[in-house]
A and B are shown apart, each in its own frame.
Chain A
Amino acid sequence: MCLGIPGLVEEILNSEPLERSARVRFGGISKEINIAFVPTVAVGDYVIVHVGFAISVINESEAKRVFRYLEEIGDLEDLG
């Protein structure tokens, strides 16, 4: 359920509050996506997109958390 894919906001296309849309890049393709639910989003942000709507702006520092954790595990392994 709820297939959500991260994409890069490349350009704001429409700034009407409810019809705010952006061109969002997913790998090698792009699509116009409604960004009414993420009013603070800016070009260069990554958003999670579900059925044509951005539902969340990706928090980059949180995105790295698991990799910091993996490094810690790695260090522990090295000690062991």
Chain B
Amino acid sequence: MNIECPLPLDQLATESDEVIRLGHGSGGELTQRLLRDFIFPYIDNYWIQQGHDSAKLPVDNGSLVFTTDSFVVSPLFFPGGDIGKLAVYGTVNDLAMSGARPKYLSCGLILEEGLPIKTLVRIMYSMGTAAAEVGVQLVTGDTKVVERGKGDGIYINTSGIGVLGATREICPQQIVASDVVILSGDIGRHGMAVMAQREGLEFESPLLSDCAPLCDPVAALLAAGIEVHCLRDLTRGGLATALVELAESSGMGIQVEEGCIPVSEPVQGACELLGLDPMYVANEGRFILFVPAQQQQQALEILTAIPVSIDSRVIGRVSSLAGAEVTLQNSLGCERLLYRLPGEQLPRIC
């Protein structure tokens, strides 16, 4: 996809020493200046120029798909991405997982008093670039400022609208016995890239977050007529949680082979060191899909031709024999059940 940056990098207002003040959320002159100088230039389009309270959107034939997601991450910038990219890709990916073509996003910003303007600008630039890369428009938004100490620098909410072509429904209830499960690449990069920066646990790592838009591989599969039964992007809770959720929603059993699930050496090293299970570590650019076994070869050929899903492989299959649960078979031939995490995955050290 052609990536058009909304502004050349050297024109970014990154030299500003200003910080966000409560007045930036007042709705008055300061708010106007914030929007005009530091936000709009990076997401500019027809709708932004209209300056209305809401955006009037033309719609093709077909159904609309609508979703929302909020983004809180610390640190705001991490190897391989930042909160701005996450906020665009996260919502775009949720739309793509229903088979839709993402079209429009809203952008709600909650800024903490004291946030450096240049940090905001870097994030807005990142959002603008990510939106251009995916081909979505940021058509409406809102900005509020909270007192210092009441926010983590910046929180972003994005809602998204996508258009569903004349495709069959893609959802957990479509999963049938004998479907194969395909995973689009190695797991755990995002969670470990962020963990590497955490005070008290930090380590040196070449790890980059996997955060990426997933609409290209989905569009390619649908365009080729692959009968995709279900799609799910892997986020918090990792691969294990996604599989467990789908087993429960579909009422089907899923058998997965541990040996087929790729884990990069840095992720393995970090997980061993901290006593974490990569099956439960967060991702931001991976998904699983359920397709009929007879189409697995064709689906893999399509996926592996696209950079973001180049390492796709079959990791398991669906069975109606077992209950609605996920069985993981390891390389020793032993089985265990996967469960949801009871809470945050905590390092097991002592």
Contact = CB atoms under 8 A, between A and B. Distances in A.
Complex contact flag A–B (Cβ < 8 Å): yes
A28 B203 contact: no
Nearest to B202: A31
Contacts of A25: 269
B350 A28 contact: no
B204 A29 contact: yes
A51 B273 CA distance: 9
B348 A26 contact: no
Interface residues of A, number: 14
A5 B272 contact: yes
B207 A28 contact: yes
A63 interface: no
B332 interface: no
A3 B268 contact: no
A30 B205 CA distance: 6
B205 A29 contact: yes
Interface string A39-64: 00000000001010000000000000
B204 A27 contact: no
Determine which residue in B196, B275, B349 has the highest number of CB atoms from chain A within 10 A of its CB, and name it. Answer: B349
Contacts of B350: 1-3, 51
A34 B205 CA distance: 18
Contacts of A51: 349-350
Contact of B264 (A3, A28, A30): A28
Interface string B265-288: 111111011010000000000000
A29 B275 contact: no
Given A29-B196, A30-B203, A3 B270 contact: no
Contacts of B207: 28-29
B206 interface: yes
A1 B275 CA distance: 10
Interface in B270-312: 270, 272-273, 275
A10 to B, nearest CB: 10
Given A3-B349, A51-B349, A28 B206 contact: yes
A31 to B, nearest CB: 4
Contact of B205 (A1, A2, A3, A28): A28
A25 B264 CA distance: 15
A21 to B, nearest CB: 13
Given A3-B275, A5-B273, A26-B269, A31 B204 contact: yes
A11 to B, nearest CB: 11
A28 B273 contact: no
Interface in A1-44: 1-3, 5, 23, 25-31
A27 B206 contact: no
A2 B275 CA distance: 10
Given A3-B348, A28-B268, A31-B204, 17 more contacts: A2-B350, A5-B272, A5-B273, A26-B270, A26-B272, A27-B265, A27-B269, A28-B266, A28-B270, A29-B205, A29-B206, A29-B266, A29-B269, A30-B204, A30-B205, A49-B273, A51-B350
Interface of A: 1-3, 5, 23, 25-31, 49, 51
User: Nearest 4 A-B pairs (CB), nearest first?
Assistant: A27-B269, A28-B266, A28-B265, A26-B269
15 contacts: A1-B350, A3-B275, A26-B269, A26-B270, A27-B265, A27-B268, A28-B264, A28-B270, A29-B204, A29-B207, A29-B269, A30-B204, A30-B205, A31-B203, A51-B349
